[in-house]
């Protein structure tokens, strides 16, 4: 069963890598660095905006700004940039799909991205629902501080794993 799944992933990777755009990126001298630059700019906005929210949840920065005010201001940047990061990252991936699939740091990065998504979903469905009660608190309640701390740690790890891919 496991082997069948692995060979399925291998076949999907081979198929992605054979797409014309993937071949083009792999063979061009400048497409990869250009797309990579877009990926860096996008991830900078994703991680920057998320960290600014996380540190407010932790009660470290902007403690006099309401939590909802900060989130409403910064979340559109997160989502717009995340979309750009996924598209540019997908294109980078396609150029060497099989190699990245087998790369441990790439795998860890995807796994931690999933954990960051779960952490955010849990926070939105649970701890964030009664934000009206603690919106102006300098130090938000424990559940919000944990969500912020977990998010910040995961995103720092995601950046590190992402950078490490280039050194494998």
Residues making contact with another protein (CB under 8 A):
30, 33, 36-37, 40-41, 43-49, 51-52, 61-62, 65, 69, 72-74, 76-77, 156, 159-160, 163-164, 166-167
Q: What are phi and psi of 29, to 5 degrees?
A: -75, -30
Beta carbon nearer to another protein, 5 or 167: 167
Distance between CA atoms of residues 46 and 76, nearest Å: 10
Indicate the residue among 26 and 41 with the shorter CB distance to another protein: 41
Shortest spacing between CB 43 and another protein, in angstroms: 7
Give me the count of residues in the chain.
168
Instruction: Give the whole-angstrom CA distance, residue 64 versus residue 66.
Output: 6
Indicate the residue among 26 and 159 with the shorter CB distance to another protein.
159
Q: What is the C-alpha separation between 101 and 160, in angstroms, rounded? A: 17
What does the block give as tokens for 70?
């900060």
Smallest distance from the beta carbon of 4 to another protein, in angstroms? Answer: 35
Closest CB 38 distance from another protein, rounded Å: 9
Q: Are 139 and 59 in contact (CB under 8 A)?
A: yes
Q: Which is nearer to another protein, 32 or 134 (CB)?
A: 32
């Amino acid at each position: 069963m496991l082997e069948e799944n692995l060979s399925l992933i291998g076949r999907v990777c081979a198929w992605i890598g054979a797409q014309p755009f993937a071949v083009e990126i792999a063979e061009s001298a400048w497409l990869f660095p250009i797309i990579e630059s877009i990926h860096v700019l996008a991830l900078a906005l994703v991680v920057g905006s998320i960290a600014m929210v996380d540190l407010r949840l932790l009660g470290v920065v902007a403690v006099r700004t309401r939590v909802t005010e900060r989130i409403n201001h910064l979340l559109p940047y997160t989502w717009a940039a995340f979309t750009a990061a996924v598209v540019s990252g997908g294109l980078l991936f396609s150029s060497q799909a099989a190699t990245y699939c087998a790369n441990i740091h790439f795998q860890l990065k995807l796994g931690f991205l999933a954990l960051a998504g779960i952490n955010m979903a849990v926070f939105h469905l649970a701890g964030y629902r009664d934000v009206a009660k603690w919106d102006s608190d300098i130090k938000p309640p424990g559940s919000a501080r944990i969500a912020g701390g977990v998010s910040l740690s995961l995103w720092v790890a995601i950046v590190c794993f992402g950078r490490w891919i280039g050194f494998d």
